[in-house]
Amino acid sequence: MNKLQLLIVCAFFSLPMFGQREILYKQIDTVKLYLEIHSPVRMDKEPQKPAIVFFFGGGWRNGDRSHFAEQADYFSKRGLVCILADYRTESKHQTTPYVALQDAKSAMRYVRQNATKLGVDPNKIVASGGSAGGHLAAATSLIADYNDKNDDLSIDCKPNALLLFNPVIDNGPGGYGYERIGDNYKNFSPLHNIKRGAPPTLFLLGTEDRYIPVETSEYYQTVMEKVGSRCELRIYEGEKHGFFNYRFIDMFKETIHEADIFLQSLGYLNEEPKVEIN
């Protein structure tokens, strides 16, 4: 994409060329769902960059897209297109976890369909999230059902990699959300739907997480390896649910460091330059 083409793209969106901007990706009656785009400061070397789509946590009940704003700020400075996604929640929209997954899939399809306009490489899209947002990220790659009837299903919603922060990956009996999901866990729970072709994954978890036992993460890794997929598991001793959030600055830095190394290993980032975290 040359400079003139880039200017045309920005004019199309009526938005600044770089930095932060907001795009409507889905509307349901009066409900409008947006993607908050954090573009690299400079995009002159490669017209299309790898991207990370972040889904916030909150048990599919609460939360908003600002959850991963600090991670998006860091990785956009590292040269990636970072996208914070809205989706419908129980507290705001009286919706179910299934609707949240529909929206997550719609967001992924929008990014891939509009990759050129967004400056994104459609073959290097990472899905990321924490807790229930981690479930949504993993489910976009592993769960076949729960697609919005208005989506173009010819557009693949599956990410090319997963970056999961204490994700809810077991919705079965004894897992998180079973009281709402019930027997539908069989086609909603990522742990129960791992199959060959699952994308390379980084899984970050604390030993004192009250929602996701370490044993569950280890089993997830084992199944991933059995189907021939890469799953890097990082366990943090003594850390609780949400340990990766910015307010826990030391763990924020540690998890960002691990994610950076993981993305380097995929060829999505170069080793240098590093970005200072305040």
The mean predicted confidence, pLDDT, of the chain is 92
Most distant pair of Cα atoms in the chain: their distance: 56
Which residues does 46 contact at the CB level (< 8 Å), separation at least 6?
A: none
Overall pTM > 0.85 = yes
Interhelix angle 69-77/249-265, nearest 10 degrees: 50
What CATH code is assigned to 20-265? 3.40.50.1820
Question: Which DSSP letter does residue 114 get?
Answer: T
- The pLDDT of residue 8 is above 50: no
* For the chain, domain boundaries: 20-265
Best CA proximity match to 163, nearest among 118, 125, 113, 213: 125
Q: What is the pLDDT of residue 19?
A: 60
User: Which amino acid makes up residue 221?
Assistant: Q
pLDDT digits (tens, 9 = 90+) for 14-35: 333 446 799 999 999 999 999 9
